[in-house]
Structures are given as C-alpha cells and as structure tokens.
C-alpha cells in the first residue's frame, strides 16, 4: 500500500493489526517517489472475508492513499537475506556452490566466518536456510521482509 510519509502513520497501520487481532507475518516499508509517500508491503494470512476486512479497515486510515491485495494478480515477491555462518571443516567449496546456485554472494569473510547475501522468493530463502546447516553453523540472520509488485501493466503508484 501507499501511505503518507508522516509521523505516526506507520504506528497507526501496525496498531490497527494489533487492535483488530490480525497478524503481521512480515512488514517492509520505505519512502518512495518524492519521499512524501511510503510504500508498505504487509504479509498477512486469512480467508477472503478476513483479508477484505483488513483492506477495508486499512483504507479507513486517513493516511492510507491506496491499497491492493497483490496476491489477486500474478505478482513478484522478493526478500533479502543477510546471514552470518561459521563454516564446518573445509566446506568452503560447498558453501560457494550453494550460494552460487541460489544466486547469492559472499559479502564478507573472516577466517571461517562468512556473511552471505541472497535475494529471492521467500520460499527460496527458506529452502536455502534449510540447506545451510549441513555446511555451516548459522550464527545470525536478518530478513528484509517481503517486497511485492504486480506483473504486467497494473501498477500501484500515485
């Protein structure tokens, strides 16, 4: 959704989820365009009726400019993962192969500690995280939350 980039607008958005008993599975937000607008991607779950209610309630917030359920159309989901691992004995090659196959890169290394960066669909990131422990010990990770955009000519913009 597009939200006025004003003090308190994000608090109102997140507060609404808490007040009405909705879950936020993931939240990504940053200013876009001329900086007066924030683009927010919220991932939540529920049946059609619940999602419709969430969208209607969000639309009632004065600062919400536009909101769409992008899962109604074919769309692209992306998430960024930064993960720090300690590599198991002599598995550098395996790590490099795994990261390359996932389209990621090694952005820092210090002896046996590696920091990896991968962008992809949330499910691809999940499966990478499942594969990593065979090669390295997971020490720390940070995920950006899911970003979404519709395919084709349909747009969400001012």
Instruction: Catalog residues that contact other proteins under the rule CB under 8 A.
Output: 4, 7-8, 11-12, 15, 19, 49, 52-53, 56-57, 59-60, 62-65, 158
Token output for 154: 């349909």
Question: For other proteins, which is the closer residue by CB, 15 or 103?
Answer: 15
Question: For other proteins, which is the closer residue by CB, 4 or 94?
Answer: 4
Question: For other proteins, which is the closer residue by CB, 3 or 83?
Answer: 3
Q: How many residues does the chain have?
A: 158
Question: For other proteins, which is the closer residue by CB, 30 or 139?
Answer: 30
Q: At its nearest, how many Å lie between other proteins and the CB of residue 1? A: 10
DSSP 26-94: EEEEEEETTTTEEEEEEE----HHHHHHHHHHHHHSTTEEE---GGGS-EEEEEEEEEEEEE-TT-HHH
* Calpha distance 23→149 (Å, rounded): 21
């Amino acid at each position: 959704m597009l939200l006025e980039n004003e003090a308190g607008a994000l608090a109102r958005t997140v507060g609404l989820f808490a007040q009405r008993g909705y879950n936020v599975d993931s939240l990504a937000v940053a200013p876009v365009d001329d900086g007066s607008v924030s683009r927010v991607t919220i991932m939540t779950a529920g049946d059609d009726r619940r999602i419709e209610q969430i969208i209607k309630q969000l639309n009632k917030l004065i600062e919400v400019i536009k909101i769409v359920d992008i899962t109604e159309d074919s769309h692209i989901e992306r998430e960024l993962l930064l993960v720090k691992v300690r590599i198991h004995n002599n598995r550098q090659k395996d790590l490099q192969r795994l990261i390359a196959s996932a389209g990621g890169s090694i952005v820092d290394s210090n002896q046996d500690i590696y920091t990896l960066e991968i962008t992809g669909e949330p499910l691809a990131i999940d499966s990478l995280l499942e594969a990593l422990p065979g090669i390295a010990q997971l020490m720390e990770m940070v995920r950006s939350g899911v970003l979404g955009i519709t395919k084709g000519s349909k747009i969400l913009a001012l």
